Amino acid sequence: MNILKGVILTLFFSLLISLIFSFVFRLPIPMGGIIGPFGEYSSYRNFIEVPNMVFTAWLFYGVFGGFIVFPLLGVLAGYFAGKNLDTVKNRNIKLFKYSFMAGLIPVLFISTLDFFIGKW
């Protein structure tokens, strides 16, 4: 059961982290440029439209491989959270922590990928 919770939380946290990255760091939007304070386009002018753009990017990157990576990392997060049979409270805290990290890694990778491979 922890594995299924890990997958669901990882998908949720990846979407939430993508939204946070679009306002705090940068996030590439397919066919739209890089939005964020360190990107090409500011995310503060279109405060209402940014969640739509982030959700579109999340779906786009998910279809092209992210929906394979996120569940795999979510399975690992759920496995490691349930590995030690602690109390339910500690297990849930571990599950949230590991799922957050599992959602953060691919979003951080996609937002800094152009530093390694060059301009898109």
The structure tokens 């990846």 sit at: 14
Q: From its phi and psi, is residue 85 left (phi > 0), alpha (psi between -120 and 50) or beta?
A: beta
In this predicted structure, what is the pLDDT of residue 90? 79
- The pLDDT of 82-106, averaged and rounded, is 85
Res 35 pLDDT > 70:
yes
> What is the per-residue pLDDT for 43?
72
pLDDT in the model for residue 40: 82
User: Which pTM value belongs to this model?
Assistant: 0.87
Average pLDDT over residues 101-117: 91
Domain spans in the chain, listed from the N-terminal domain onward: 2-117
